[in-house]
């Protein structure tokens, strides 16, 4: 069985077959390791960093992505492509193919941007674990012929994190994140007000120390997910009272705590 280091060598070898690549950079550990590998394999001058920004990204997430890029790739430049997902009717309807519609639109926009710079290959940070989840967005990745070098090399999430730490990438231990729309149950239309309420609620929980949390909106309640190690602290009376009061001010509730833990 290959080690993470062996798989990383295969990743570099695979990337070297391209003259130039564009990386869909989210600020997460997967795309950061991929960007590091691409620059190692091809040189920074042959790598285009593309970052899609929209109302689906919280202000904290946007700031974090810029900080990660600046810390780890100080000599490079990042192109930011602004999207307007609330104008995409098929996405706003929020059926089970929501992520497919979004990824298809997003990566089409990135490909159009990179084409201006004479680049024909877009890569994203899908890892081999992601391929086991049946994610609708992966169908768009395949249809648009976006390459997935981490997954192709067989790199798992834990191996990605370990390699990121080895290479001193600043976000090696960053909590996994996803866009705000993923918090809204299917068939509830995605609107700006709901996205902003979710952002405020999660920001409040972060300030209480519940990092990596999720606030999921369903038709008749809001489900809070915290890390398993934080379950006891969350139900402590002071924290519980603060959460209840703040969520009530957002007109968010009833509040249900998931006992599974993240």
Q: How confident is the model at residue 260 (pLDDT cuts 50, 70, 90)?
A: confident
pLDDT of residue 82: 97
What global pTM score does this model have?
0.94
* DSSP three-state, residue 62: helix
Residue 253 scores a pLDDT above 90? no
Under DSSP, is residue 15 helix (H, G, I), strand (E, B) or coil? helix
Helix (H) or strand (E) holding 74: none
pLDDT for 262 beyond 90: no
Which residues lie below 8 Å from residue 200, measured CB to CB, with a gap of 6+?
A: 250
**89 vs 106: CA distance, rounded Å:** 14
The share of the chain scoring above pLDDT 70, in percent, equals 100
Query: What average pLDDT does this structure show over 197-212?
Result: 96
Crossing angle for the helix pair 237-249 and 192-207, to the nearest 10 degrees: 160
- On whether the CB atoms of residues 58 and 183 are closer than 8 A, the answer is no
- Cα separations in angstroms, 41 against 37, 57, 104, 154, 255: 6, 30, 28, 18, 49
pLDDT at residue 104 above 80? Answer: yes
Q: What is the mean pLDDT of residues 43-49?
A: 97
Average pLDDT, the chain: 95
Tell me the range of 114-118, 155-159, 253-257 where mean pLDDT is highest. 155-159
> How confident is the model over 55-63, as a mean pLDDT?
94
pLDDT value at 134 more than 80: no
Q: How far, in Å, CA of 63 to CA of 214, rounded?
A: 19
The pLDDT value given to residue 190: 98
Angle, helices 29-42/4-15, rounded to nearest 10 degrees: 60
DSSP state of 213: -
168 — alpha (psi -120 to 50), left (phi > 0) or beta? left
Q: Residue 189 class from Cβ within 10 Å (0-12 exposed, 13-18 middle, 19+ buried)?
A: exposed
Band (pLDDT 50/70/90 cuts) for residue 132 is confident
Residue pair 55/192 in contact by the 8 Å Cβ criterion: yes
């Amino acid at each position: 069985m290959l080690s993470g280091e062996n798989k990383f060598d295969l990743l570099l070898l695979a990337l070297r077959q391209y003259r130039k690549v564009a990386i869909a950079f989210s600020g997460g550990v997967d795309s950061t390791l991929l960007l590091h590998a691409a620059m190692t394999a091809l040189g920074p001058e042959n790598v285009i960093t593309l970052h899609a920004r929209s109302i689906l990204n919280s202000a904290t997430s946007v700031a974090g992505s810029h900080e990660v890029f600046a810390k780890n790739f100080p000599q490079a430049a990042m192109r930011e492509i602004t999207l307007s997902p609330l104008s995409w009717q098929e996405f706003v309807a929020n059926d089970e193919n929501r992520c497919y519609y979004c990824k298809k639109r997003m990566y089409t926009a990135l490909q159009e941007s990179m084409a201006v710079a004479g680049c024909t290959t877009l890569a994203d940070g899908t890892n081999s674990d992601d391929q086991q989840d049946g994610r609708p967005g992966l169908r768009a990745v395949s249809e648009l012929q976006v390459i997935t070098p981490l997954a192709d090399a067989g790199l798992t999430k834990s191996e990605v994190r370990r390699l990121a730490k080895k290479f001193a990438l600043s976000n090696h231990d960053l909590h996994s994140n996803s866009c705000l729309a993923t918090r809204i149950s299917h068939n509830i239309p995605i609107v700006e007000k709901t996205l902003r309420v979710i952002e405020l609620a999660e920001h409040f929980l972060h300030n209480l120390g519940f990092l990596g949390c999720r606030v999921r909106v369903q038709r008749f309640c809001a489900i809070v997910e915290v890390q398993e190690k934080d379950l006891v602290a969350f139900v402590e009376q002071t924290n519980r009272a603060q959460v209840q009061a703040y969520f009530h001010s957002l007109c968010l509730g009833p509040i249900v705590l998931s006992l599974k833990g993240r």
